[in-house]
Amino acid sequence: MATARSAVRTALLKEHCRKFSTPRCRTYSGCWNSTMNPQRSEVAMSELRSIPVILLGLGNVGSTLLHQILETRQEVARRRGVRLTPIALADVSGLIADPNGLSEEILRAALQTVSQGRFLEALGDIQPLANVTSLLRPGVLLADLTASPKTMPTLYAALEANSGLVLANKIPLAAPWDKARPLFEYPALRYEVTVGAGLPVIATLHYLLDTGDQVIAIEGCLSGTLGYLCAELERGVPYSQAVKQARALGYTEPNPRDDLSGKDVARKALILARTAGWTLEEHDLSVEPLYPSTLENVSAEEFMQALPALDEAYAARFQQARTEGKTLRYVAQVGPQGGKVGLVAVPQDTPLGALRGPANFISLRTRRYDEVPLVISGPGAGRAVTAAGVLWDLIELGQRTGIA
């Protein structure tokens, strides 16, 4: 009987591995499974699959991702049987590309160049950004690591070419629904890091929906930057100083106003809503910015210089909450009909009130998780955890049948 069960299990594993084309492991003869077996073996070089990757954007996340790709190659190959091969890097100055794969020498030179605050054009042999579309084809993975709406035509071109898409850029997914819908409906899309950095928020939502659950409401602190800011204000740090510290630590978006305006949190709330099946638009969310409208159109330097004038007002708001046994957190609340984003007074002894630093907290109330919502919490900012989330998306997407 045991022998029969073993034979059935072996057959099932072989079928699983044949379907998903995972690399060989040592437990079962002829088995192609490494992800289900904790005792993984080295994958022969002849069995490695090269995954062509295009990186759009070499800012904080993009450069960290490139570094992680280079430093984890052997481990990824050993565990997953794939090798991520950058064939193109792009920034605002242009594109460097080689359809056969950029050499490690060039990749490390690119990292050194951007670490010095220079653009890729400093390396020479730069191509127009428009040339990136000529590299798109089935099997190629395109990662949008920018914070720009200008990548939308390239993303649409990737859809047409049946290339895989990984997004760290929230803007395309938070665009008007008629523009974002083709992305959400594209089967070869992953966008885990758009909400919660490296936390499995999107994956959890997909798990709930794919198993027949229904999302009722979503609430949480979705910005590591604003979580850090609120925690610092709670400690008595002046508003202007807390913003400068967050910027120096790399917690903010390239333009800090994207965080302080609440727009970045609103985009995340919109992405969560659309993932849950609610086709909301930006105007369905009310948003409270953390600066006056008079600072909306000034330069970045003028904006930073004007922040000390807000110190007293925010200190008073946090002090008032403290006298009531509460604190302030920047919270997103969204449901099928809309939502709101802004500062909310919460008791200090609640999970939201106890958040510290750049931690995120997401509460998913569903038909199954109604009385006690499903909660996801952890670091929600930082270039390393965000880049690692993109790396995971690339690896997972690259291993799908028909993509790699």
The set of catalytic residues is 268
Instruction: Map tokens 């029969």 to a residue.
Output: 4
Q: What element of type H or E holds 132?
A: none
Distance CA 98, CA 86 (A): 9
Query: What is the dihedral angle through the alpha carbons of 118, 123, 126, 132, rounded to the nearest 10 degrees?
Result: -80
Would you list the DSSP string of 87-115? EEEEETTEEEE-TT---HHHHHHHHHHHH
How far does the chain reach from its first CA to its final CA, in angstroms? 39
Distance CA 182, CA 159 (A): 8
The maximal CA–CA distance of the chain, rounded, in angstroms, is 78
Provide the token pair at 112. 């050194």
Closest to 89 measured CA to CA, from 110, 64, 67, 116: 110
Instruction: Map tokens 């035509």 to a residue.
Output: 153
**AA letter at 345:** A
**Angle between the N-to-C axes of helices 60-71 and 383-398, in degrees from 0 to 180, rounded to the nearest 10:** 60
Burial of 252 (C-beta count, 10 Å sphere; 0-12/13-18/19+): buried
